[in-house]
Structure 1
Amino acid sequence: MAPIRKAVARVMRSLVMKFTLLTGALIFATTLMLMTLENVSAQRETRNLLIERSVATLQATASRLANPISTNDAGYVDLYVEELIASIGASQMYVLNNRREVLGEAYDDDREQGQLRAADIAVMSLGAGDLRYDLHDGMLEVSAPVYTQSRRLVGVVYMQQPLVELVASRNAAFQRQTLIALFALGIFLPLAALIVGRALRPVQTLTDAARLASSKNLDMRISVKTGDELEVLANAFNRMFARLDGNLKRIHRLAYVDLVTELPNRERFRKETERVARKSLEDGGSGAVLFLDLDRFKRVNDSLGIGEGDRLLEMVGRRLSEVTRGCDMASGNTEDPSMVARLGGDEFTVLLPTIEDSADAARIANKLVDAIRLPFEISGHQVFLGVSVGVAVFPQDGADPETLMRHADLAMAHAKRAGGSAAQFFEPTMNQSAFERLVLENELRDAVAQDQLVVFYQPKVLMTDGACAGAEALVRWQHPTAGLLSPGAFIEAAEECGLIGEIGDWVLRAACREAAAWRDRGLEIPVAVNVSAMQFERDGFSDSVLEALAAANLPPHLLELELTESIAMENPERVIEQVQPLRDRGVNFAIDDFGTGHSSLAYLTRMPFDVFKIDQSFVRDMTTDHHARIVVETILAMAKSLKLETVAEGVETPEQHQMLRAQGATLAQGFLFARPMPAGDFVAFATESHTDRAVGE
Structure 2
Amino acid sequence: MAPLRNAVARCMRSLVMKFTIMAGLLIAASIALLITLENHASRQDLEERLVERAGMLGHILALNVADDITEADTQSMGRRVARMVERPDISEAFITDVRRQVVVSSAEEPDYHAANAADPLVVMSLGAGEARLERRGEEIHVATPVFSAAGRLVGAVYVISPLDELRTATAAMMRRHFLISLFALGIILPITALIVGRALGPIRQLTEAARQASTKSLDMRIEVKTGDELEVLANAFNRMLGRIDANLKRIHRLAYVDMVTELPNRERFRKEVERTARKAVEDNASGAVLFLDLDRFKRVNDSLGIGEGDRLLEMTARRLRETARGADLANGPGGEPSMVARLGGDEFTLLLPNVETAADAARIAQQVIATICRPFDMSGHQVFLGASVGIAMFPQDGADPETLLRHADLAMAHAKRSGGNAAQFFEQSMNQSAFERLVLENELREAVRDDQLVVFYQPKVRMEDGVVEGAEALVRWNHPTAGLLSPGAFIAAAEESGLIVEIGDWVMRAACRQAADWARNGLAVPMAVNVSAMQFERESFADSVLEILAETGLDPRLLEIELTESIAMKDPERVIEQVQPLRDRGVSFAIDDFGTGHSSLSYLTRMPFDVFKIDQSFVRGVAEDHHARIVVETILAMAKALKLKTVAEGVETAEQLEILRAEGATLAQGYLFSRPTPADEFEAFARNGNSREIAASARLAS
1:138 maps to: none
1:635 aligns with 2:635: yes
Partner of 1:620: 620
**C-alpha offsets along residues 656-680 of structure 1, whole Å, 9 cap, x if unaligned?**
1111111111111111111111111
Shift of 1:214: 4.5
Residue 238 of structure 1 and its aligned partner are, at CA, apart by: 6.4
Which residue number in structure 2 is paired with residue 322 of structure 1? Answer: 322
Is the contact between residue 222 and residue 234 of structure 1 (CA under 8 Å) also seen in structure 2? Answer: no
SS at match of 2:457: strand
1:520–1:292 Cα change, 3 Å: same
Q: Any gaps of 5 or more consecutive residues in structure 2?
A: 1-206, 697-702
CA distance in 2, matches of 1:636, 1:675: 24
SS of equivalent to 1:674: coil
Q: Aligned ranges for residues 616-695 of structure 1 at < 5 Å?
A: 616-689=616-689
Please give the per-residue CA displacement for 1:469-493, whole angstroms capped at 9, x wherever unaligned: 1111111000001100001111111
Letter in 2 for 1:487: P
Q: Is the CA contact 1:388–1:422 (under 8 Å) kept in the aligned structure 2?
A: yes
| AA matched with 2:307 | G
Which residues in structure 2 correspond to 1:350-389 (within 5 Å)? 350-389=350-389
- In the other structure, the counterpart of 1:112 is none
**In structure 2, how many angstroms separate the alpha carbons of the residues matched to 1:592 and 1:308?**
36
Shift of 1:418: 1.4
- CA 1:614–1:248: 2 relative to 1, 3 Å: farther
Equivalent position of 2:9 in the other structure: none
Tell me the equivalent position of 1:437. 437
Inter-CA distance 308–525: structure 2 relative to 1 (3 Å threshold) = farther
Aligned-residue offset at 1:576:
1.5
Q: Per the alignment, do residues 223 and 503 of structure 1 end up closer, same or farther by CA in structure 2, a change over 3 Å counting?
A: closer
1:528–1:561: 8 Å Cα contact kept in structure 2? Answer: yes
* Aligned mates of 1:391, 1:642 — CA distance in 2: 51
Look up the match of 1:264: 264
Aligned to 2:391: 391
Query: For residue 473 of structure 2, what is the aligned residue in structure 1?
Result: 473
Matched to 2:526, the amino acid is P
Whichever residue aligns with residue 633 of structure 2, its letter is: E
| Change in CA separation of 1:467 and 1:553 when aligned onto 2, cut-off 3 Å | same
**Which residue in 2 is equivalent to 1:489?**
489
Listed as ranges, the matches of 1:164-313 within 5 Å are 214=214, 239-313=239-313
Question: How do 1:47-196 residues align onto structure 2 when only pairs under 5 Å count?
Answer: none
CA displacement at 1:646 relative to structure 2: 1.2
1:671 aligned partner, one-letter code: Y
Contact 1:263 1:342 in 2 (8 A): yes
Structure 2 vs 1, CA of residues 578 and 236 (structure 1 numbering), >3 Å: closer, same or farther? closer
Contact 1:209 1:222 in 2 (8 A): no
- Is the 2:292–2:347 contact (alpha carbons within 8 Å) kept by the matching residues of 1? yes
Q: What is the CA distance between 1:209 and its match in structure 2?
A: 12
- C-alpha distance in structure 1 between counterparts of 2:440 and 2:216, whole Å: 50
Q: Which residue of 2 aligns with 1:168?
A: none
| Shift in alpha-carbon separation, 1:324–1:496, aligned structure 2, 3 A | same
Conservation of the 8 A alpha-carbon contact between 1:468 and 1:690: no
Deviations 1:534-562 (A, max 9, x none): 11112211111111111111111111111
Aligned to 1:519: 519
**Equivalent residue letter for 1:676:** P
Deviation at 1:691, TM superposition (A): 10
What's the offset of the Cα at 1:224?
Answer: 11
Between the aligned partners of 2:560 and 2:537, the Cα distance in structure 1 is: 18
Residues 628-667 of structure 1: CA deviation (Å, up to 9, x unaligned): 2221111111111111111111111112111111111111
TM-score by length of 1: 0.65
| Preserved contact between residue 454 and residue 475 of structure 2 (Cα < 8 Å) | yes
Amino acid at match of 1:469: E
Counterpart CA distance in 1 for 2:404 and 2:297 is 25
Q: Structure 1 residues 322, 210: closer, same or farther in 2, change over 3 A?
A: farther
**Matched-pair contact (CA < 8 Å) for 1:265–1:343:** yes
Separation of aligned partners in 2, 1:217 and 1:624 = 86
1:405–1:522 CA distance, 2 compared to 1 (3 A): same
- How far residue 343 of structure 1 moved from its aligned partner, in angstroms, is 2.0
Contact in 2 for aligned 1:388/1:412 (Cα 8 Å): yes
Alignment of 1:408-487 (within 5 A): 408-487=408-487
The 3 A distance-change label for structure 1 pair 244 and 674 is same
Q: 2:540, 2:226 → 1: CA distance? A: 71
Is the alpha carbon distance of 1:558 and 1:224 closer, same or farther for their aligned partners in structure 2, counting shifts above 3 Å?
closer
Give deviations 1:542-597, integer Å, cap 9, x for gaps. 11111111111111111111111111111222212211221222111111111111
Deviates more, 1:522-531 or 1:316-325: 316-325
Displacement of 1:301 in angstroms is: 2.9
TM superposition shift of 1:496? 1.2
SS of the equivalent of 1:459 reads: strand
Q: Alpha-carbon deviations, 1:361-401, whole Å to 9, x = none?
A: 10111111112222223333322222111111010100111
Aligned-residue identity in percent: 75
Q: How many residues align?
A: 488
Aligned amino acid, residue 392 of structure 1:
A
Q: Does the aligned pair in 1 maintain the 2:454–2:477 contact within 8 Å?
A: yes
Asked if 2 retains the 8 angstrom alpha-carbon contact of 1:299 and 1:570, the reply is: no
Using a 3 Å threshold, how does the CA distance of structure 1 residues 233 and 644 change in structure 2: closer, same or farther? closer
- Contact 1:389 1:415 (C-alpha < 8 Å) held by counterparts: yes
Root mean square deviation of aligned Cα: 3.1
Label 1:215 to 1:635 Cα distance change in 2 as closer, same or farther (>3 A).
farther
- Corresponding residue of 1:586: 586
Return the letter of the residue paired with 2:565. E
* Superposition deviation, residue 250 in structure 1: 4.1
Taking the aligned partners of 1:664 and 1:489, their CA distance within structure 2 comes to 35
- CA-to-aligned-CA distance 1:415-467 (integer Å, 9 cap, x gap): 11211110000011111111111111110010000000001111111111111
* TM-score, scaled relative to structure 2: 0.65
Change (3 A) 1:486 1:247: same
Whether contact under 8 Å (1:564, 1:593) holds in the other structure is yes
Bigger mean CA offset, 377-386 vs 669-678: 377-386
- Whichever residue aligns with residue 646 of structure 1, its letter is T
Residue matched to 2:559: 559
Kept after mapping to 1: 8 A contact 2:270/2:401: yes
Q: Is the 8 A contact 2:335 2:354 kept in 1?
A: no
* Structure 1: distance between partners of 2:455 and 2:233: 79
Contact 2:468/2:691 (<8 A) preserved? no
**1:509 to 1:249, Cα distance in 2 relative to 1, 3 A:** farther
- 1:337 positional shift: 2.0
Question: CA, structure 1 residues 305+510, in 2 after alignment: closer, same or farther (shift >3 Å)?
Answer: farther
Q: 3-state SS of the aligned residue for 1:509?
A: helix
Structure 1 contact 459–470 (Cα < 8 Å) conserved: yes
Deviation of 1:317 after TM superposition, in Å, equals: 2.5
Deviation at 1:243, TM superposition (A): 2.3
Partner residue in 2 for 1:182:
none
Once the two structures are superposed, residues 608-632 of structure 1 have per-residue CA deviations (whole angstroms, 9 ceiling, x without a partner) of 1111111111111222222222211
Cα distance in structure 1, aligned partners of 2:510 and 2:264: 50
3-state secondary structure, aligned to 2:342:
strand
In 2 relative to 1, CA 576–315 (structure 1 residues): closer, same or farther, beyond 3 Å?
farther
Q: Secondary structure at the match of 2:318?
A: helix
- Greater CA radius of gyration, 1 or 2? 1
Report the 3-state secondary structure (helix = DSSP H, G, I; strand = E; otherwise coil) of the residue aligned with 1:599. Answer: coil
**Partner Cα distance (1:509, 1:233) in 2:** 67
Query: Is 1:349–2:337 an aligned residue pair?
Result: no
User: Residue type of the partner of 2:547?
Assistant: E
Any stretches of 5+ residues in structure 1 without a counterpart?
1-205
For 2:493, the aligned partner's letter is: A
Distance in 2, matches of 1:421 and 1:613, equals 31
Residues 454, 347 of structure 1: CA spacing in aligned structure 2 closer, same or farther, 3 A cutoff?
A: same
SS at match of 2:676: coil
Contact 1:328/1:334 (<8 A) preserved: no
